[in-house]
Amino acid sequence: MRIGIGYDVHKLVKDRKLILGGIEFDYEYGLLGHSDADVLVHAIMDAILGAMNLADIGNLFPDTDPKYKDIYSINLLDRVVELMEERNYKIGNIDTVIICEMPKISPKRLEIQEMIAKHLKTDIENVSIKASTSEKLSFTGRGEGIEARAVVLLEKID
């Protein structure tokens, strides 16, 4: 078994779509980034890569490469899953948290959980998606950005 942790944060701005866990939210702000800036998927990818002792997503998918400009992060997650399978690992379980004041995550939590489980090629019971506020503290509390954390347990496939 291997354990990995991932973290990501992006600034909220006007005139961008808000994508979290591969799901679009109807919200007046979106996340600023080279890709779609999906903080949840980015945290999950870094957790998986860390568990395998590989470089982070910034090295694997550099923001200096135009082919990743505005890319749907779920497509990048699919590549990370390929790397995981090439090394004979599968998801044991994953636990995540999205930290933001708005939008409310709970109405789309199950949809996100289903999307992530599908792309991780695992049962939905192995994917925990949680949300929390920062009680109006820090940049997330002021509505300036969204952050996500993920912990993953990888199991070796015999």
| Residue 119 marked ligand-binding | no
> Would you say 151 and 4 are in contact if contact means Cβ atoms under 8 Å apart?
yes
Q: Which residues contact 37 (CB under 8 A, 6 or more apart)?
A: 10, 16, 19, 30, 31, 73
Q: Does 39 carry a binding-site annotation?
A: no
Q: Are strands 145-156 and 89-99 parallel, antiparallel or unpaired?
A: antiparallel
Phi, psi at 146, each rounded to 5°:
-130, 140
> Is 64 part of any known ligand binding site?
yes
- Report whether 57 belongs to an annotated binding site: yes
Query: What interhelical angle do 109-120 and 39-51 show, nearest 10?
Result: 40
61 marked as part of a ligand binding site: yes
Find out whether 142 is annotated in a ligand binding site: yes
Annotation-wise, does 25 bind a ligand? no
**9 carries a ligand binding annotation:** yes
Bridge partner residues of 139 (DSSP): none
Helices (H), 1-158: 39-51, 57-60, 73-86, 109-120, 138-141
The answer to whether 10 is a known ligand-binding residue is yes
| 132 annotated ligand binder | yes
Q: What angle, rounded to 10 degrees, do the helices at 109-120 and 73-86 form?
A: 40
Binding residues, as ranges, are 8-10, 34-35, 42, 56-58, 61-65, 132-135, 139, 142
Binding residues for a divalent metal cation, as ranges, are 8, 10, 42
